[in-house]
Each structure stands twice: as structure tokens, then as C-alpha cells.
Amino acid sequence: MDKLVFLVDDTDSVLTLGASILEDDYRVLTMSSALKMFSLLEKKQPDMILMDLEMPEMNGFDAVTKLRENTEWSSIPVLFLTGHIDDTVLSRAAELRALGVHNKSDISTTLLDRIRELI
């Protein structure tokens, strides 16, 4: 359990459920905004970031764009979480070198299995 995962989502239920699923296998830090994530990145670097796409202060695409511009953080693996997956979302995620997109309605052991495959 030495891998650190950041879970970034503005929905408390997603943070709670996601953390409860992941915490047996990973150290999980939850944050409710991308801005909070960037503050924490100054102190800790995760092995993976699970990033919501739709957030009020800064959406997931903008956050990962900013992440990729920083040489210290640019290689951190990102998996997007969203309630709506279409070709535009998949294309944009690929442009940002994300590992993929996972449907938020399926935050269960399926997410845990996917993370195990990726890190």
C-alpha cells in the first residue's frame, strides 16, 4: 500500500465512495477541487490522479492541461472520471495523455481493477 492516489471531485459522495473502494490497496487523498490539488502537489506527488471532468472552479481538462505544462508533474498518470463519455471527451482525454476515462456511475470494484491495470 505504498502507491498514492489523488481523487479530485467536487461531489462528496464520489469522494467518499471512491476513497472507501481504494483505501485497502492505496493511500488515497481526496480533494474537492483542482485548485486544492495543485496546492497539495507542491508537497506530495501521487502515483496517479483520478480527476473529475466537471468542476466549478477549474474543469478536469483545464487542470490536466496545467498539470502537463509543469515539468515536475507532467508525467503523473491521470484517469478522468465523468458521468458523460462521448467521442469528444475521449479525444480530448487522449490529447492530454490521460490513461482513459471512467464512468462515475461505475465507481466500484471496476474502478479498482482499472487502476490496478494502470499503475
The pLDDT profile of the chain, 119 residues, written as one tens digit per residue, is: 689 999 999 999 999 999 999 999 999 999 999 999 999 999 999 999 999 999 999 999 999 999 999 999 999 999 999 988 999 999 999 999 999 999 988 877 677 788 888 87
Burial class of residue 5, CB neighbours in 10 A (0-12, 13-18, 19+): buried
Model-wide pTM > 0.95: no
| Cα 8 to Cα 14: distance, rounded to the nearest angstrom | 9
Q: What is the CATH number of the domain that holds 17?
A: 3.40.50.2300
Structural domains in the chain (count): 1
Q: Are 7 and 28 in contact (CB under 8 A)?
A: yes
Looking up cell 490522479 gives 49
What is the extent of the structural domain holding 39? 4-118
Task: Assign 6 to helix, strand or coil.
Answer: strand
